[in-house]
Each structure stands twice: as C-alpha cells, then as structure tokens.
Amino acid sequence: MPNNFAQMYGEYLRDESRQVGNAESIVFPKTEEEIISSVKEMSRKNIQITTQGARTGLAASAVPFGGHIINLSRMNKVTAAKYDKENDRFFLKVQPGLLLTELRKFLVNKSFVTSDWDEDSIEALNYMGINRWFFATDPTETSASMGGIAACNASGAKSFRYGSARDHITGLRIVLADGDLLTIKRGQYIAKGKEFIMKTESGRIIKGQLPNYQMPNVKKNTSGYYNKEGMDMLDLFIGSDGTLGIISEIEIELSKVQAACWGITIFMPSEDKAIDLVRALRKEIIVDSIDLNLQPSAIEFFSHKALEMLRNQQKTNPAFSNIQEIKESYHTAVYIEIEKDSDEEIWSEVKKLGAVINSLGGNEDETWVANNPTNLEKLHEFRHACPECVNMQIDNIKKIDKTITKLGTDMSVPDNKLKEIINIYNEDIEKNNLQAVIFGHIGDNHLHVNIIPRNIEEYEKGKELFLKWAENVSHMGGAVSAEHGVGKLKAPFLEKMYNEEEIKEMRKLKKIFDPAQLLNRGTIFAYEEGEI
Amino acid sequence: MKIVVCIKQVPGTNEVKIDPETNTIIRENVPAIINPFDTYAIEEAVRIREEIGGEVIAITMGIPGAKDMLKEAISLRIDKGILLTDRKFAGADTLATSYTLSKGIEKAGEFDLIICGKQATDGDTAQVGPSLARNLGIAYATDISKIIEIKKDSIKCLKITDDGYEEIEIKLPALITVVKEINMPKLPSIKSMKVAEKSEIEVLTFHSSGADESRTGLKGSPTQVRKTFVPVHEVKNEMIEGTAEEKATKLSEILIKLKGVD
C-alpha cells in the first residue's frame, strides 16, 4: 500500500537533497544477519533496494525510487578497538548507522559502551593513554552516519591536510546483492594491473577487470567508481554510493589531536589577491623569499558576494549577531586552520604569514586570529553562517514557489585551473544577472557555487549553468563531484565527465557484484535493463 | 580621554573544581583566560578611544604570570598594561583587592574613566568595581549595557535593571561596570599580536605601589572562607507507563503536585 507507506514512513522517502521518492517496504536491521536475510528475500523476489544511513546526503543517494529500503540507523555501535603498539596506531570498528557526532563524543570522553566487546578491545582502550584521538574526516554535517561517510567518501574542510574518508578507512564488511558477505582489509586484495580477484565468506571467487577510464587529476573526487591499475580493491567500495553492496561494518584509523589549534580569517582586497594568498599557503609561489611552513589543515574561501550577503544579514538578522563586524572595506576572505604541537610553533609561522599578506597587497591588521577554543568557535560560526544564510534565503523563496530548491555545486579542478574556473563562475553569474555566492574548500580547488534563484526562470537558468560548468570542469581535467558523491542528482553531470563507453564500463563493473542491479538503482549512472 | 580597564585572570572553564582540603580553586591543568566580562570592558574602552582619541591602560593584580594576560589585552588593542604583583598582595578578598588596585591606578596618574567587567566568573561577587570607586572617591554605575554619549566632563549610559533600563548621567572621572550586551569583542589581528609581543608590561610591587600593608593581602582581608562546596545537582527520572490517556493523567497529577499548577 504505497499511500499508507508514504504516510507512515514519509521521512524515509527523502534526504537532505530535498528530493522525494517512493517505496513499498522498509526494514531497520540491528545486526548484519538481519541485513543479509532482508537482502536474500529481496534478491529472491527481484526487488530493488535503497540503503540509508542518516539521510544527510546532498545527492539523493538515499532517496528510494520504488522497492525496498534498508535503513541502517539502528546499527549504531562501536563494536571493537585495536591498538598497534609497534606503530602507535589506533583503530575502531563501527557499525554503519553510528553518527559522527556520537563517535566524536565517545572519543572526547574516551568512554565507550563496551558490554559486547571482546577482551582485546577492552584492553586496547588502555592504550589511548594521555593522547586525544579523533577521526580526521570532518564533513560540515556532523549528524552524518559512518556508513554514509564511507559510501560517499566524504571529506570536509580539513581534507586539505587529512584527505578524505578513504584515507582513514582500513577495512569494510560488505553484504553483497545475493546476501553473501565480503570482508576486505586494506592491503588484502590488490589488483594485478586491471585484473582483480576476491573471495567471499561462502568461498565464492569474484573475478573481474577494472575499467579503462582515467580518473581526474584532482585532490578531491567522488565522481564515479575509484579506478586505478594496481589499486587496493577496498577503494572501489569506498565512494561507491551503496551500488556494489551494503556496508555492515567499517574499520577506521584514528589520528592524534595536536596540542594547539588556531584559526585565522584573512581579508584580502580582491578575489585575485585572495587566490594568490592561497597559492602562497600551498607553497606554489614564494613571496619575498619568505619560507612559509604553516601546513594548514583547512583553507577556505568566501567570495566578495558571500561577504556582502553575510554583512547584510548581520545588520538585520539577530541569528548572525554573534559574528564580528565585517567592515565595508573587507573584500574577499580566506580562512585557515592550523594544528601543531604548541602555540609557539604556530605563532612563529603566523608572524611570517603576516608579512606575506602585506606583500600581497593585503593588511595583516585585517585578520581575525583565534588562538583558543572559545574564539575558534566564533570563527566556525562565521564559516557555517554562509551556507546557513543561503538556506534561509532559499526557504523564503520556497514560500513563493516550492519547486525552487537550492542550487549548489561540488566540483573541483586541478591546481593550475583555480583562477580560470573562478573567472568562469563569476562571468557566467554576472552575464545571467544571477544572485550567487562562492565559498568552500579552496585549498583543494573545490568551491561551492550557490545560486539563490529569485524566480523559476532564474532556477532553470542556474540548472543550465551547472551543466555548462560540469562541461568546463571536465575539460579542465576536474571532477563534477568532489565530496558529496554523484548520487542520483548528479548522474547527468557525470555524463559530461565520462563518455558513454566509460559509463558503460562502470555499469559493467557494478554487474560483477550486483548482476540484477538491485542495489541503489539509478545512483551514479542511470539504470539500463538487459545485458551489456 | 584616559581610560583604565581593570581585568582579572580566571580559570578558563565553567566547571571550577575546589580542593576540599584547602577550600581553594584547583588551577592545575586549567588554562587561565581573561575574565570574559572584562573582554567587554576592554572592547568598550578601545571603541571610545577609536572614536574620540586618548589612551587605554589595563591593570591587574595577580601572579607574575598574569603578564601574559596583559599582553593578550594589548593584542586586543589597549595601549599599556600594569601588573600589581607581590607576595604581600596574596590572599586578598574584594576589599583588599580594590584597595590595592586603587593604589596602582593612582600611580598611573590622572584618568577620566575606569571600566570593569560586571563581575569575575570565578568569584562572582561583583564587588571590586564599586569598592574601587569608593577607594578613589569617584562616582560609579554598575551593569552598563550601552554608552549613549561621552562629553568632556560627563558620561550618559544605559543601565540594565531587573525592571528594564535606566538612562543615567555621571560626572567624570567615574567608574562603570559593563555587561555583555554592551558590545561584541573583536578578535586580535596578526598585527595587534605582533605589537603585544614586543610590548613591555609595567610591574608595581608592594613598595612601588605605596600601599599600606595592613590593607593588602590576607592582612587586609576581613573576609574568611570557612567552607566551600560544590552544589549537588540531583536529577530524578521517572518513566510513566500506560496508554496515552493514562500517561497524560499521571503526568498532570505529578505536575500539579510539583508546582501547584491548576
């Protein structure tokens, strides 16, 4: 009874992409066995399955379009811990429904629910010692689930230093489309050239060949399957958007928290000069022979229009009154976060940064420095204010026309194309007289362009521009999705990045693991019936 | 205009732990910060100087390490820091503290306005500001949320009261204590931190302050802490079982019993 289903389980038909789908049934497994039994039943009946975590994704991966939903939110435990004494490395095994916020809470308090743990795991906790540990992937949305983070290879601001989720995942357990189980540890299955071979729990051998397409040469990429000759096969499943199997357990490696963490917002007199500063921070250019060794964890950008929007909101909206006054003279902002072993170590680099800012035509006095947790929180509020501000404006427009949704890009380009792509964005926005702000992870050349349409015509115009930009970015050797995943929403963008043959190769790869294409159908690429 | 800001170093945590043996605050492993209310005092003084010119001096009484806090105040754009430090100042209550501060301020010369935070987050007494004004023989007003106008010899401000706001005018020199509604403190810049790093802090000892020994430190403190304790927060949970109707009935009974709701 689809109608009843929508009434009772309506919230499970959508995610943060604001797309709404439909389904006929849903289960909330608490164990891996329950996932397996549900998958076996659906496989027998040939019913498609959509997997869900916390439904915070922005690309509609978790939105079902018919069939059955397996919602993993009740598998939310940390199940084991491991300490590698020799190399001082710490690992945790977590269930896919565990929220990042919960994991962070456990780690800050060094306190876990250990009633189901084995002795070795409990023993391992003793080795956390005086060190503070954290999971280095920091997506803005902290209510994301660990399964979702693995499935879309999430990253976040600090990926400039720490990379994406891929770099911190050391093992997965995956329920395949027929209910068989695959356990993969990092280093266990390495492709020989393009040939790969794996063995399931039941002893079945999975053999196959990797596609021929080349991945873009960018730091951040979640556009389609990871593919490289001689790759670790674990990487195929990370970022595969739930299309190859259902993740039932994730082993993550933790990183050590450094004693000192500072944030600095730097206001530059133009977007061009802001980009020069970013290049100096990345050590692509040396300014006045100053040897700058800040090694920031994050480098973020706020366009001129983004600052203007925040400044206007600040005057009228009490929600943003906690943010320090953005002076009229502040044109463009770059935000960096630095972690080192001591405040002194950071300060000696920040002094050099001041000189670099001055040399680039900025002013070291036009900076906000946060060198303690309270002030750092203020700069985080400033950073989060940008997307919040956009969302508030979209919500207002939605009251007039509810078909209008947020238009936000998630594309990245190679280092040497950064200025070029920002120029294209700005020219197109101006030419079409659109209201738009640009902000995000400029360190990785990964900026979010957010268009705020004032009417349906502007919305349609914006959508057209997104396709054009996907084409521009693809020509530059960039990625159409850098951190949100392709999901269902960006499948048309992927077609700008890869040709028909290459998309076919991806579909072929999926069919090795999921011959009937039951899992997350329509995600990454469109569903096509029949054999290829 | 010459403005003096009084600041205090406090533990940077909301959960102050007290040593049950000595009844003093445990400061180990807790970083010291500028009393949050004092950061509004600093900001307001700096804003006044930026508008009408003049000089802002911050003064504190504390351990030698409080020099770092005064340097931090300089990074928040005050002009000069003065530290009153001496074993003879140790163990002071609010009376002895305000007396000692008044001696330090006298040494700093003529002034027009003194700004203090409403209270310190560790002691929460809110006594030092008014007591300091009495020691200096000047007018004062507490809980100021806005400075409306500054003239050559008077200041007009808004004071928060339990019932609303009072607009008041005081003759200068005067002392005011400020609440957090008064402004939004700015963060330091790389430049202001460089200025702070190079700055020198003036140190006043017992001798150089010219204070009377019987009025400073433990000797000058009539207040004695007999006992301190951390209040116990008791939270009781009671699960109500039954149908929705039964639960609602039971809940209303409990509420009536607890609060006398009709």
| A120-144: pLDDT as tens digits | 999 999 888 778 899 999 888 889 9
- Residue A219, pLDDT score: 87
Residue A323 lies in a domain: yes
| Residue A357 covered by a domain | yes
With contact defined as beta carbons under 8 Å apart, do A190 and A231 qualify? Answer: yes
ipTM: 0.84
Give the mean pLDDT of A87-114: 95
CA distance B261 to chain A (A): 34
3-state helix, strand, coil in chain B (%, to 5): 35, 25, 40
Judged against a pLDDT cut of 70, whether residue B105 lies above it is answered with yes
Four-residue CA torsion sign, A425, A428, A429, A430: positive
Domain boundaries along the sequence of chain B: 2-215
Give phi and psi for B102, each to the nearest 5: -65, -35
Q: What is the pLDDT of residue A440?
A: 93
pLDDT at B15 over 80: no
CA A161 to CA B219: how far, in whole Å?
Answer: 56
CA distance, residue B185 to nearest chain A CA (Å): 8
pLDDT of residue B44: 97
Q: What is the pLDDT of residue B14?
A: 57
Name the 3-class secondary structure at A392. helix
A73, containing H or E segment: none
Whether residues B190 and A264 touch (CB distance < 8 A) is answered with: yes
pLDDT > 80? residue A73: yes
Q: Assess if residue A120 is contained within a domain.
A: no
Radius of gyration from C-alpha coordinates of chain A: 23
Candidates B31, B187, B193; nearest CB to A324: B187
pLDDT digits over A293-337, tens only?
999 999 999 999 999 999 998 888 887 877 899 999 999 999 999
Strands A78-84, A89-94: parallel, antiparallel or unpaired by DSSP? antiparallel
pLDDT higher than 80, residue A200: yes
8 A C-beta contact, residue A89 and residue A45: no
What per-residue confidence (pLDDT) applies to B108?
A: 92
CB contact under 8 A, B186 and A324: yes
Domain assignment of residue A180, yes or no: no
Q: Which of A475, A505, A521 is the last residue of a domain?
A: A475
3-state secondary structure of B102: helix
Strands, E assignment, A295-445: 298-302, 332-340, 367-370, 407-408, 411-412, 436-441
Interface test with B, best of A369, A371, A381 (most B CBs within 10 A): A369
Is the residue at A32 inside a domain?
Answer: yes
Chain B nearest-CA residue for A363: B191
CB contact at 8 A, B38 and B92: no
Q: H helices of chain B, where?
A: 36-52, 66-75, 94-107, 128-136, 190-198, 206-209, 244-259
- Which has the minimum average pLDDT: A222-226, A310-314, A431-435, B59-63? A310-314
Tokens linked to A26:
């849903």
d(CA B81, CA B78): 8
Q: CA–CA separation, A190 vs A201, rounded Å?
A: 18
Tell me which residues of chain A have a C-beta less than 8 Å from any C-beta of chain B.
264, 321-322, 324-325, 347, 350-351, 353-354, 357, 363-370, 372, 374-375, 378-379
pLDDT at A532: 42
Number of domains chain A is built from: 2
Hey, of A321, A346, A365, which one would you mutate to test binding to chain B, going by the most B CBs within 10 A of its CB? A365
Is the omega angle on the peptide bond into residue A269 within 30 degrees of 0, that is, cis?
Answer: no
Instruction: Give yes or no for residue B20 having a pLDDT over 80.
Output: no
**Predicted local confidence at residue A128, as pLDDT:** 84
Q: Is the CB of A367 less than 8 angstroms away from the CB of B12? A: no
Which amino acid is residue A79, in one-letter code? Answer: T
Nearest CA distance, A261 vs chain B (angstrom): 15
Find the residue in B nearest to A358 (Cα): B191
Q: Which residues of A touch B184 (CB under 8 A)?
A: 321-322, 324-325
Instruction: Check pLDDT > 50 for residue A403.
Output: yes
Residue-range definition of the domain harbouring residue A400:
260-475
The verdict on a CB contact (< 8 Å) between B190 and A347 is no
Contact: B186, A264; criterion CB under 8 Å: no
Q: Report the pLDDT value the prediction gives residue B25, as an integer from 0 to 100.
A: 65
Q: In B, what residues contact A, Cβ < 8 A?
A: 12, 31, 33, 184, 186-194
Report whether pLDDT(A453) > 90: yes
CATH of the domain at A53: 3.30.43.10
Q: Per CATH, the architecture of B2-215 is what?
A: 3-Layer(aba) Sandwich (3.40)
Q: What is the mean pLDDT of residues A97-124?
A: 94
In angstroms, what separates the C-alpha of A314 from chain B's closest C-alpha?
12
User: What are A103's two structure tokens?
Assistant: 């994991």
* Residue where a domain terminates, one of A14, A43, A71: A71
Q: Do the chains contact at B184 and A321, CB–CB below 8 Å?
A: yes
Picking from A425, A455, A475, the residue at the C-terminal end of a domain is A475
CB-nearest to B187 from A321, A354, A370 is A370
List the single range of A220-229, A302-311, A379-388, A509-518 with lowest mean pLDDT. A379-388
Residue bearing the bigger pLDDT, B224 or A438? A438
- pLDDT of the residue at A530: 65
pLDDT band with cut points at 50, 70 and 90 for residue B21: low
- Which is nearest to B98 in space by CA: B64, B130, B55? B130
Contact B184 A322 (CB under 8 A): yes
Q: Is the peptide bond before B173 cis (omega within 30 degrees of 0)?
A: yes
Least CB–CB distance from A350: residue in B184, B187, B190: B190
Residue of A nearest to B195 (CA): A365
Mean pLDDT of A245-254: 98
pLDDT at A1: 47
Residue A246 lies in a domain: no
pLDDT, tens digit, 9 for 90 and up, residues A349-367: 999 999 999 999 999 999 9
CB pairs under 8 A between A and B: 48
Report pLDDT digits (tens) over A9-68: 999 999 988 789 999 999 999 999 999 999 999 999 999 999 999 999 989 999 999 999
Instruction: Give the domain CATH number at A450.
Output: 3.40.462.10
User: Do the chains contact at A350 and B193, CB–CB below 8 Å?
Assistant: yes
Which of A47-51, A157-161, A386-390 holds the top average pLDDT?
A47-51
Q: Rounded to an integer, what distance in angstroms lies between the CA atom of residue A359 and that of residue A446?
A: 26
Chain B neighbors of A264, CB-CB under 8 A:
190
Q: How far is B189 from chain A (nearest CA, A)?
A: 5
Question: Where is B116: in which H helix or E strand?
Answer: strand B113-117
- State pTM to two decimals: 0.86
Give B9's contacts in chain A (Cβ within 8 Å).
none
Share of chain A above pLDDT 90, in %: 81
Pairing of strands B2-6, B55-61: parallel
Residue B138 scores a pLDDT above 50: yes
Contact between residue A268 and residue A442 where contact means Cβ atoms under 8 Å apart: no
